[in-house]
Amino acid sequence: MNLRTFIVLFSFFVGKVCFSQALFEQKVEDLQAHPLMKGALLGIVVFDERNDSALFKLNEDIAMVPASTLKLVTSAAALEILGPAYRFNTRLAISGKINSHTETLDGSLSIIGGGDPALGSEYFKENYFNPDFIDSWVDSIIRHGIKRIDGNIYIDESIYDGQDVPDTWIWEDIGNYYGAGARGISVFDNMFRITFRSGKRAGRPTEIIKVDPWAEWLEFENYVVSSDKNSDNAYVYGDPWGNLRKIRGTIPKKRDSFQIKASLPEPGLVLGELLKSKLESKNIPVSGQVKKGNAVEKADKYFEIWSPELSKIIKVLNHESVNLFAEHLVKQIAYEKTGVGSTEKGLEIIKKFWAGKGIDTSAMFLEDGSGLSHFNAISPKQLVEVLQFMKTKSRNFEFLKASLPAAGEGTLYYFGPDNFRGGSLRCKSGSMTRVRCFAGYLVTSSDEELIFAVMVNNFSMKQGELINYLESCLKILREN
């Protein structure tokens, strides 16, 4: 290549970059000037890792509510602290003596939680239902010659501290499926489904026709009415330990079967009752009850169930934005480091970990691991620095990147795949009322990988309109 050709190509490339940046800056200015952004806070960092420089910065050091983009901080720390191959286990313990003549266990069964967030999860059916893990427990008991159990089934959740949900979660969230708390024994995503039947006219009372899984101690007050709107606008209210669930809002009219999802209180007890029911269906009566309590210290036999590897759990966590999984990781980090699974301790360890990697965490406020708390605050720069560390200094980068949805996938289903072909965009989204954020990696048309964070708080426009603005901004960067 002669000098003149090089200069022409170089000038073309520089001109294209400058043009794209100018378009991006103009788009950001247009967004800021929008009447429905009055009073809103917009923070952006676009970092070119190859040139070790920021292409664009706006309010980069301002701590803002991150919503689910906080899962990047949690999942990246978990990969580094626990390792991608880390697995959780759940044990069924047999304690006492087996009378070989009467084939009776004079003792107890204990389900000992290991903090597995994925136990019985609908996201991991191959791991737990091929075969069904409860059936496997029953088969193990039968193989040991037990045909009767004179004792209780204990539910041991002592690996965690008993604080199911972070203090700052709001009442509207904790009764619904996405507000399920992390337990020493979590099962079925700590979720149950309520099926309704609605009348032919709007404004009429609805009827609950099914609850799955069934828990006999649950009580319901149903205030849900039928509506002309063809959407789920029903919310479940109830504390993590209580029996009463109040359900308010609307569901579509003229439905013989309409399902909503709620957080499951006492998942360990539900698991214990299912085990007892399956034993009795095999003609193995259990004389005692299902009770919460620590396992008997000396168990004669253990049957273990192991979770998928952490890298696979994190892939679901970020791709589908599963709050429960993130909260488990915080507690499990604390358990591995201190012996007790505590949200407070786990968050403290995570924050110290990132400080140890050179990130200024003085204005990083962590109240949970999932981003569901409105009290979380982190800056765009801090998010980018976490992502930059993982890309440039971590052996676990590919696990983190693979966990992030591409355009048109997972929680990025509303982004047009044609705008970001070949998986050029991989990022975590975050949203709640008046909050919309994105953070991740973007490969440009010139094959440069940018690291970015875009955070918007307290806007008045509709979420869909803001999403379109932000998608167009990322598209401009992509065409750099």
Q: Count how many Cα atoms sit within 13 Å of the Cα of residue 457 in the half-sphere of its side chain.
A: 17
What integer pLDDT is reported at residue 301 of this predicted model? 72
**CA atoms of 169 and 40, how far apart (whole Å):** 23
Instruction: Select from 1.25.40.10, 3.30.365.10, 3.30.1520.10, 3.40.710.10 the CATH code of 19-85+311-478.
Output: 3.40.710.10
3 state DSSP class of 321: coil
pLDDT band at 52 (very low <50, low <70, confident <90, very high): confident
Greatest distance between any 2 Cα atoms in the chain: 97
Q: Tell me the average pLDDT across 31-43.
A: 96
What integer pLDDT is reported at residue 18 of this predicted model? 53
Residues contacting residue 451 through CB under 8 Å, at least 6 positions apart: 46, 47, 49, 384, 387, 388, 391, 440, 441
Could you please state the CATH topology (level 3) that the domain comprising 89-161+292-307 is classified under: D-tyrosyl-trna(Tyr) Deacylase; Chain: A; (3.50.80)
What integer pLDDT is reported at residue 106 of this predicted model? 94
Mean pLDDT (the chain, rounded): 93
Cα 195 to the center of its chain, rounded Å: 24
pLDDT of 88 higher than 80: yes
**CA atoms of 415 and 160, how far apart (whole Å):** 38
Domain ranges in the chain?
19-85+311-478, 89-161+292-307, 171-263
Q: Tell me the average pLDDT across 425-438.
A: 98
For 269, the enclosing helix (H) or strand (E) is: helix 267-281
Q: How many residues does the chain have?
A: 480
What integer pLDDT is reported at residue 40 of this predicted model? 97
Give residue for tokens 């009378």: 99
What integer pLDDT is reported at residue 47 of this predicted model? 97
What integer pLDDT is reported at residue 379 of this predicted model? 98
pLDDT of 11 higher than 70: no
Residues contacting residue 29 through CB under 8 Å, at least 6 positions apart: none
